[in-house]
Amino acid sequence: MVEQTTTGQPVAIGAIGAMLVGSIIYVDGLERPGAQMRRGQCVGKFQYGGSTVVTLHPRGDVELDRDLVRNSTEQNCETLVRVGWRIGASR
């Protein structure tokens, strides 16, 4: 659990290893609750395989981009997202 600097609200970050992931390696110190990180900072890496990172924010704290919401709710399809692409913004 980390704290968002602009709002002070808690944010949970979870690394999810997909099939055939051998391990998830965090940058020293970031695996501990309350660790601080900066936007764009390297958090760690997945070894072997495809995986994802999930962030959980308090309700109303983040506004997802319209294309992501539209594709998920109206089009019933996935949205291609690459590392570094924006998916939403803090309110």
**Domain chopping of the chain, boundaries:** 1-58, 59-91
Please report the pLDDT score of residue 39 as a whole number: 79
pLDDT for residue 42 is more than 80: yes
- Mean pLDDT taken over the chain: 81
DSSP three-state, residue 1: coil
**Residue 28 pLDDT level (bands cut at 50, 70, 90):** confident
Tokens coding 42: 């390297």
CA distances (Å), 17 to each of 20, 34, 75, in order?
8, 22, 27
- DSSP for residue 82: -
pTM greater than 0.85 (yes/no): no
More confident residue, 19 or 62: 62
Segment of 14-28, 38-52, 68-82 carrying the highest mean pLDDT = 68-82
